Amino acid sequence: MNRGWRAVAIGDCCLLHVTGLPSQMELLHAFPLSHSEEFGSSPFLVGSLKKGDDDPLPHVRVSEGVLGPDDTLFFASDALSAWLLRRAEKGEPAWDAISPLACRPRRTSKRW
């Protein structure tokens, strides 16, 4: 089974590749921005109407990797990505807060 991934990006939403169990996850790769201070207020965006100076090709970024057995990929908005990266940089990672395992609904005694 191929566990490789490839991502193409324009803008500042991020793909975050983390490894480990939810309570011990650590960041392996963030793309296209990898540090919280890289986020700004005016990233290049692709609009719905083409303008003469809107050439997206110089702004396209490509990255790829391979998923290990305990790896997870998260796709996050710019604000969430900046917050997650800031927390990881401070040594206070918050991966478990957004992990699919942490977000599962709790079981109740009632059945639907």
Which residue range(s) make up the domain with 24?
A: 12-40+57-112
Contact 83, 34 (CB under 8 A): no
Task: Using the predicted structure, report yes or no on whether residue 102 has a pLDDT greater than 70.
Answer: no
Give the E-state strand segments of 41-102 in sequence order.
Answer: 61-66, 71-76
- Buried/exposed 28-67: b ≥16 CB within 10 Å, e otherwise: ebbbbbeebeebeeeeeeeeeeeeeeeeeeeeeeebebee
Kindly state whether residue 48 falls inside one of the protein's structural domains: no
Domain count, the chain: 1
pLDDT value of position 100:
64
pTM above 0.85, yes or no: no
Task: Using the predicted structure, report yes or no on whether residue 107 has a pLDDT greater than 60.
Answer: no
Kindly state whether residue 97 falls inside one of the protein's structural domains: yes
Lowest mean pLDDT among 41-50, 52-61, 72-81, 102-111: 102-111
Kindly state whether residue 79 falls inside one of the protein's structural domains: yes
Identify the helix (H) or strand (E) that includes residue 30. strand 26-31
pLDDT band at 21, cuts 50/70/90?
Answer: confident
Kindly state whether residue 81 falls inside one of the protein's structural domains: yes
Contact 96, 22 (CB under 8 A): yes
Kindly state whether residue 94 falls inside one of the protein's structural domains: yes
Kindly state whether residue 7 falls inside one of the protein's structural domains: no
